[in-house]
Amino acid sequence: MAFEITDANFKEQVLDRQGVAVLDFWAEWCGPCRMIAPIIEKLAEEYDGKVLIGKVNVDENPEVPMKYGIRSIPTILIFKDGEVVDKHVGYTTQAKLAEKIEAQLVAA
């Protein structure tokens, strides 16, 4: 299951993390966000123990999305050692996201 990232735990869970973290910025009212949610959950299972897969509810946690200029959702940010290394805006497939994650893992 994808980890819930909040404004309060973002620094500890993402910025201070060594390795790869994938964040899905979403909202309850967003149709494409609901479409991508099962993909995020599958990736969380697939990469359990290797990559932090997290979800940030933009309505409940406004600070992190504002810091990274998130204007459209869903937006996926991929972090490596606390730095943003990749970004995807809008719906995408599980295969495309897995490819982006694998690229960061290989570059480790």
Q: From the candidates 7, 13, 30, 89, which is the catalytic residue?
A: 30
36 labelled catalytic: no
State mean pLDDT over 77-86: 97
Burial degree of 12 (CB within 10 A; 0-12, 13-18, 19+): exposed
Q: Can you give the pLDDT at residue 107? A: 77
Please, what is the average pLDDT of the chain?
Answer: 96
For the chain, the straight-line distance linking the first and the last C-alpha, in angstroms and rounded, comes to: 24
Span 32-72, pLDDT tens digits: 999 999 999 999 999 999 999 999 999 999 999 999 999 99
Look up the CATH number of domain 3-106. 3.40.30.10
Could you tell me the sign of the dihedral formed by the alpha carbons of 72, 17, 4, 105, in that order? positive
| 90: pLDDT strictly greater than 90 | yes
Sorted by where each begins, the domain ranges of the chain are 3-106
| 108: pLDDT strictly greater than 60 | no
Q: From the candidates 2, 14, 33, 44, which is the catalytic residue?
A: 33
Q: Can you give the pLDDT at residue 1? A: 86
33 labelled catalytic: yes
